[in-house]
Amino acid sequence: MFDSPQMAPPTFSLSSPATPTETRSTIAAEYAIFAEYVDLSSNPCDGVFVVPSDSNPRIWQGTIAIIDDGPYDGALLRFTLSFRPAIAIPERPRLTFASPIFHPLIDPLSGEFDLAFLFAQWSNKIRMRQVLVAVRNAFTVIDPNGSRNPEAAALIRSSPKDYRTRVTMDIVDTLQDLSNDNTGLGNVHMNFGPWIPELYEPILKDILSTGAALLVEKSRADSKADRHNHN
């Protein structure tokens, strides 16, 4: 969906004295991250754009665009992906969304996504493309067993309609944050224009009404399938 910019090989400068082992570990980690970005650039994820930070190769900034018939349809979500400083000990990166988004796997205060839920056993063999695809898919197939936001987990079980309404409020807020650049991530090689209500609100309403209609159709189809299976 997005074209990723070219990234130069990392350069290294240590802010404090380090042992030769620490230096080698840092260099190896940053080249491993660079290799991940090269792999992602040659085989990009649909709906996901990432770019390394100019100041720190261990930080990626990006955007996930959700286009489906679910509650998050139309969302454009900015995030930061932070990598560990060394590769000697396998450790998950941290993925944090810039704006609050209602989801069972997202901490409502920090915006951090629960990667441990998707990748219980972490390994250096897990590629960042796998991670980003899994995170993107978590907005399409929503697992109510996530515990980072108990309110979201409870609401999607008890009232999917109210859950969708709650999510829609956050989507509108994130789109406005993008246009005002209040996310704290800077432009990140993408420019978002101002939110123009008379232009964008009809589009947003159309997206949401279409998604709601598809949701009703799917619910009816599921009900028919359930009745057929019980007969």
Q: Residue 161 above 80 pLDDT?
A: yes
Contact 70, 140 (CB under 8 A): yes
Residue 89 lies in a domain: yes
Residue 30 lies in a domain: yes
Q: Which are the contacts of 206, defined by CB distance < 8 A and separation ≥ 6?
A: none
Provide the pLDDT for residue 66.
92
Residue 226 lies in a domain: no
The number of distinct structural domains making up the chain is 1
Identify the CATH number of the domain in which residue 118 sits.
3.10.110.10
Residue 212 lies in a domain: yes
Q: Which are the contacts of 111, defined by CB distance < 8 A and separation ≥ 6?
A: 96, 97, 98, 99, 100, 101
The β-bridge partners of 26 are none
Contact 62, 51 (CB under 8 A): yes
Residue 7 lies in a domain: no
Bigger pLDDT: 60 or 18? Answer: 60
Range of the domain at 161: 20-219
pLDDT confidence band for 206 (50 / 70 / 90): low
Residue 225 lies in a domain: no
pLDDT tens-digit series, residues 112-142: 999 999 999 988 889 999 999 999 999 999 9
Residue 187 lies in a domain: yes
DSSP state of 108: T
